[in-house]
Amino acid sequence: MKLDNYRKKRHFGATAEPEGATKLPKAKGKQLIFVVQKHSASHLHYDFRLEWRGVLLSWAVPKGPSLDPSVKRLAIPTEDHPLEYANFEGIIPQGEYGAGTVMVWDRGVWIPDDPDVDATLKKGELKFMLEGKKLKGAWVMIRARGGWSRSSDKPYWMLIKHRDAFASEEDITKTEPLSAISGRTLEQVAKG
């Protein structure tokens, strides 16, 4: 099952993270969600997640997304997460995998340019549109040549904004620091 790796890393009696449904939902015609979670763990980073085949495909983006098309952001693959994780905002206790504060920084829907997402991921170039509260417009994820993640044994990717009406030199991680669901700062989420 796709969530085995996710579940092996967590002790659900100790963390409020969702375990995830045991059966994958079969919702045809439903829009695909995306979520970006700001995660203050051993290092501050942003977790970029795209719904596909009943799970959230996940990448850690150390510097967060950039609206500037000339900026390529490293995206390190992590384990698939359950769909329920898209609403998780809170604290992962010390001693647990990913310990630290998690905030839902952005969320919305994503639309792949090519409906055969599996083929585009295999090819190494996934183009899509985001309709989020903060991130909008055309984006691409490109598999990096020669870079492999030591933790997941998967290749690194680059997250890049396409030139469109939503492109900007604004550092959106600085100008839009609040949670997309609670309106709180990361520090406020940490205080509970």
The long-range contacts involving 54-61, CB below 8 angstroms and separated by at least 24 positions, are 54/2, 54/24, 54/25, 54/83, 55/2, 55/3, 55/20, 55/24, 55/80, 55/81, 55/82, 55/83, 56/80, 56/81, 56/82, 56/83, 56/85, 56/86, 59/141, 59/157, 59/159, 61/36, 61/159
pLDDT digits (tens, 9 = 90+) for 96-150: 888 899 999 999 999 999 999 999 999 999 999 999 999 999 999 999 876 555 5
What integer is the mean pLDDT of 147-157? 66
Task: Report yes or no on 19 lying in a domain.
Answer: no
- Domain coverage including residue 176: 30-191
| pLDDT, position 177 | 97
> Is the pLDDT score of 34 beyond 70?
yes
Q: Which residues of 96-131 are buried (b: 16+ CB within 10 A; e: fewer)?
A: bebebbbbbbbbbebebeeeebeebbeeeebbbbbe
Task: Report yes or no on 100 lying in a domain.
Answer: yes
Task: Report yes or no on 20 lying in a domain.
Answer: no
pTM for the structure as a whole = 0.89
User: Per the structure, how many domains does the chain have?
Assistant: 1
Task: Report yes or no on 67 lying in a domain.
Answer: yes
Which token pair is 24? Answer: 């994958």
> Is the pLDDT score of 4 beyond 70?
yes
> H helices of 64-160, where?
117-123
Task: Report yes or no on 146 lying in a domain.
Answer: yes
Task: Report yes or no on 2 lying in a domain.
Answer: no
Task: Report yes or no on 16 lying in a domain.
Answer: no
| pLDDT, position 18 | 76
